[in-house]
């Protein structure tokens, strides 16, 4: 099995301060004092605390069962549930990926909380989430470019824990990789460490495509993203 | 006397930690919750009054504003930080038994879930409401919850989950807790949860926001 693995420079990732404010609940540029100052300060120190890295492997001939809501690939069965199975069903190959913002940022946030500064801890944590997503975006783009070389397109990325796909399937997903691939390990309850990490599947094929927004294809009334979409806060 | 308590509540509500802190800008140079709590105690205000008439009132106000989307997580955290600064002056009174906590709340994010921001907010609000909080952290096993219930008889339990896929674990945890400790009250919270879900798993209370948890605790 072949693996692609690479570290990323922070400068290669798109980290916008406005996105951090959005994740904190405010419109970009509108967070009240003292938050813009803390955001700037954390931003300046990010380099010392991040080590973004990602990697993937590609598996051929995945099989999708829309009746059972399952994906079978590489000798494993994944309970990808209705939405993910449907979205990936036309894939000819699957990119199995993992990526991380690195261990440092989680430790930094924890230290800030432990020193009695939960605000800074929260802002560092928010940056960590954003860096992990930006790393996943970068990896997604690389996989798309690779697929493009053979005139294939790629799907959205889907992760265990979301869209009804059980977190427990992380065990099977990580079994495709060498131990501590990209420095990521799994807890017995299938959580990734470092905490700020992302894993999942990306479909590759001639008939798969990227959908800008997927909530309309889902009817999970409990989903947090559905609720966040509905809830438009009015900061004062 | 009550003016001092009102000032403490105001500092907590707006996250004014101490005189040094330049935030919020319109309170720059003024004493914060830290100095005012000390002053109140030195003026002879009873510590439980500082708690109930100052800190609890301030946290309650910010909790309601958070519920109404008038402030967001960072502002609640600033309030919690102010509360903690004032609370430091009350610690000796808790230790000596001069102030009694209202009870103990054990809180944690269920197994398989590491999201802790909501859980931390609830934890801070409850502590600000005068309760002892035992925070078990994230990815907490059912066994750990049960062990803690046995360690703190009469406690109330707070469970959090953010993922729809870990709601299943919450259900299992509540079922096992209720089987072993049917009288233990269990409140639940987390973005994907609902009142219907609470009913379906046999929990006692669901709150969509931290302030609801505080109000529930006051009512039981």
What residue segments make up the domains of chain A, in order of their start?
A: 4-230
Cβ-Cβ contacts under 8 Å for B190 (sequence gap 6 or more): B115, B118, B160, B161, B162, B167, B170
* Ranges in chain B annotated CATH 1.10.1240.10: 2-96
What's residue A219's pLDDT? 60
Dihedral in degrees, nearest 10, Cα atoms A186, A2, A133, A50: 70
Largest CA distance in chain B: 55
- Of all residues in chain B, the one with the smallest CA distance to A166 is B165
Cβ-proximal residues to B206 (8 Å cutoff; 6+ apart), any chain: B187, B188, B189, B193, B194, B195, B197, B198
Between chains, do B22 and A191 touch, taking CB under 8 Å as contact?
A: no
Q: Which residues contact A115 (CB under 8 A, 6 or more apart)?
A: none
The DSSP-derived string for B31-67 is --HHHHHHHHHHTT--HHHIIIIIIHHHHHHHHHHHH
Q: Write the class of the CATH domain B2-96.
A: mainly alpha
**CATH 3.40.50.280 residue window(s) in chain B:** 104-219
Spell out which residues of chain B touch residue A161, defining contact as CB-CB under 8 Å.
163, 165-166
Expressed in percent and rounded to 5, the helix, strand and coil fractions of chain B are: 60, 10, 30
Cα B54 vs. chain centroid, distance in angstroms? 15
**Full-model pTM:** 0.87
Nearest by CB to B139, from A191, A223, A231: name it: A191
A214 has a pLDDT exceeding 80: no
Give me the mean pLDDT over the B79-101 stretch: 91
Q: In terms of CATH architecture, what is B104-219?
A: 3-Layer(aba) Sandwich (3.40)
Which residue does chain A place closest to B22, by CA atoms? A34
CB atoms within 10 A of CB A211: 11
Minimal-distance CA residue of chain A relative to B162: A224
On whether any CB of chain B is under 8 Å from the CB of A231, the answer is yes
Task: Decide if A25 and B73 are in contact by the 8 Å CB cutoff.
Answer: yes
E strands along B73-212, which residues?
104-109, 132-135, 156-160, 186-189, 205-206
Q: Chain B residue with minimal CA distance to A235?
A: B70
Inspect the interface and report whether the beta carbons of A162 and B165 lie closer than 8 Å. yes
> What is the average pLDDT score of chain B?
93
B4-20 pLDDT tens trace: 999 999 999 999 999 99
Give CA–CA dist A129/B5, Å, rounded.
Answer: 39
Mutate to test the interface with A, among B79, B112, B201 (most CBs of A within 10 A): B112
Q: Quick check: B206 pLDDT over 80?
A: yes
Question: Is A234's CB within 8 Å of B69's CB?
Answer: yes
| Cβ–Cβ < 8 Å for A2, A57 | yes
Question: Would you give the end-to-end CA distance of chain A in angstroms?
Answer: 54
- Which class in CATH covers the domain with range A4-230? alpha beta
User: Which residues from chain A sit within 8 angstroms of residue B69, using beta carbons?
Assistant: 231, 233-235
What integer pLDDT is reported at residue A215 of this predicted model? 65
What is the largest distance, in Å, between two alpha-carbon atoms of chain A? 54
How far is the C-alpha of B85 from the C-alpha of B87, rounded, in Å? 6
Who among B69, B112, B192 is closest to A222 (CB)?
Answer: B192
What pLDDT shows up at residue A130?
95
Pick the closest to residue A207 from A162, A151, A165, A158 (CA basis).
Answer: A151
Q: Which two tokens stand for residue B83?
A: 């509360």
Each residue's pLDDT tens digit, B28-61: 999 999 999 999 999 999 999 999 999 999 999 9
Asked if A32's CB is within 8 angstroms of B24's CB, the reply is yes
Using pLDDT thresholds of 50, 70 and 90, give the confidence band for residue A116: confident
Across residues A173-192, what is the average pLDDT? 94
State the best of B119, B135, B164, B169 to mutate against chain A, taking most chain A CBs within 10 Å: B164
- For A167, which of B70, B72, B166 is closest by C-beta distance? B166
The sign of the CA dihedral A145, A174, A198, A163 is: positive
Rg, Å, chain B Cα set: 18
């Amino acid at each position: 099995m072949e693996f692609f693995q690479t570290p990323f420079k922070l400068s290669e990732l798109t980290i916008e301060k406005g996105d951090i404010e959005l994740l904190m609940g405010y419109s970009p540029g509108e967070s009240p004092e003292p938050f813009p100052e803390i955001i700037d300060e954390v931003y300046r120190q990010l380099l010392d605390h991040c080590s973004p890295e990602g990697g993937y492997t590609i598996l051929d001939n995945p099989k999708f069962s829309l009746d059972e809501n399952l994906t079978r690939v590489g000798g494993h069965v994944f309970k990808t549930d209705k939405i993910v199975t449907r979205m990936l069903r036309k894939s000819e190959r699957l990119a199995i990926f993992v990526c991380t913002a690195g261990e440092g940022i989680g430790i930094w946030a924890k230290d800030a909380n432990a020193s009695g500064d939960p605000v800074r801890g929260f802002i560092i944590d928010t940056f960590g989430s954003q860096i992990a997503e930006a790393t996943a975006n970068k990896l997604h783009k690389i996989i798309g470019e690779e697929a493009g070389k053979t005139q294939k397109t790629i799907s959205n990325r889907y992760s265990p824990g979301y869209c009804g796909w059980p977190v427990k399937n992380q065990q099977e997903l990580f079994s495709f990789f060498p131990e501590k691939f990209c420095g990521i390990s799994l807890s017995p309850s299938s959580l990734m460490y470092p905490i700020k990490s992302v894993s999942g599947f990306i479909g590759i094929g001639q008939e798969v495509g990227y959908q800008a927004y997927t909530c309309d294809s889902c009817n999970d009334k409990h989903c947090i993203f559905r609720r966040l979409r509905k809830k438009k806060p009015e900061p004062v | 006397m009550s003016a001092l308590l009102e000032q403490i509540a105001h500092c907590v509500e707006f996250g004014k930690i101490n005189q040094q802190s330049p935030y919020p800008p319109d309170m720059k140079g003024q004493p914060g919750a830290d100095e005012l709590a000390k002053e109140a105690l030195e003026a002879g205000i009873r510590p439980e009054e500082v708690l109930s008439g100052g800190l609890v009132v301030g946290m309650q106000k910010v909790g309601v504003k958070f519920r109404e989307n008038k402030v967001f997580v960072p502002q609640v955290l600033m309030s919690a930080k102010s509360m903690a600064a004032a609370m430091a002056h009350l610690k000796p009174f808790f230790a000596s038994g001069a102030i009694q906590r209202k009870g103990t709340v054990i809180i944690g994010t269920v197994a398989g879930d590491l999201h802790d921001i909501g859980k931390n907010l609830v934890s801070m609000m409850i502590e600000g409401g005068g309760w002892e909080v035992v925070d078990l952290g994230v990815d907490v096993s059912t066994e750990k919850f049960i062990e803690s219930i046995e360690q703190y008889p009469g406690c109330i339990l707070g469970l959090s989950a953010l993922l729809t896929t870990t709601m299943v674990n919450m259900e299992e945890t509540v079922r096992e807790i209720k089987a072993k400790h049917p009288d233990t009250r269990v409140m639940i919270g987390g973005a994907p949860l609902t009142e219907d879900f609470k009913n379906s798993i046999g929990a006692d209370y669901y709150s969509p926001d931290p302030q609801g948890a505080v109000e529930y605790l006051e009512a039981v």
